[in-house]
């Protein structure tokens, strides 16, 4: 795990969720406007996943290996799955769904950090 990257991903997800919620509430949410930011978040999550897998291959073991790997898979899938559902919708519900996905991703990243630390290594 790259702690700084995990922290930055969590903060950016929270800020993006807040921004999407505010623009959706004001009726100005636009999918095209948030796509570059989401691509950046997904790249950060992908980099984190690569570092995580490399750490595991290097011998890092956690007390809850299966749980950690489930969080790892979820972190990679949350945004792409959500994006496929809202790609053609600029409505308020699409903004709400995206904000919920960003908050869920932030929680998953924090949980990944927690399960990574449990076993040491």
Q: Where are the domains of the chain?
A: 1-29, 31-60
Residue 59 phi, psi dihedral angles, 5° rounding: 115, 0
- Eight-class DSSP state of 120: -
Q: Is the dihedral of CA 16, 112, 82, 47 positive or negative?
A: positive
Instruction: Give the model confidence (pLDDT) of 27-76 as tens digits.
Output: 888 888 899 999 999 999 999 999 999 999 999 888 899 999 999 999 99
The per-residue pLDDT for 27 is 87
If pLDDT is split at 50, 70 and 90, which confidence band does 120 have?
Answer: low
Reading the block at residue 94, the tokens are 């699409």
Instruction: Give the model confidence (pLDDT) of 82-112 as tens digits.
Output: 999 998 888 889 999 999 999 999 999 999 9
The per-residue pLDDT for 119 is 62
Interhelix angle 31-57/3-25, nearest 10 degrees: 160
């Amino acid at each position: 795990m790259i702690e700084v990257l995990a922290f930055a991903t969590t903060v950016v997800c929270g800020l993006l969720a807040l921004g999407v919620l505010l623009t959706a509430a004001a009726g100005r949410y636009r999918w095209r406007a948030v796509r570059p930011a989401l691509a950046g978040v997904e790249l950060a999550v992908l980099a984190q996943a690569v570092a995580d897998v490399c750490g595991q291959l290097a011998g890092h073991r956690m007390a809850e290996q299966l749980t950690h790997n489930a969080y790892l898979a979820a972190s990679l899938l949350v945004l792409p799955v959500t994006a496929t559902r809202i790609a053609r919708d600029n409505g308020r519900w699409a903004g709400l769904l995206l904000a919920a996905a960003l908050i869920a991703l932030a929680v998953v990243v924090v949980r990944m950090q927690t399960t990574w630390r449990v076993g040491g290594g």
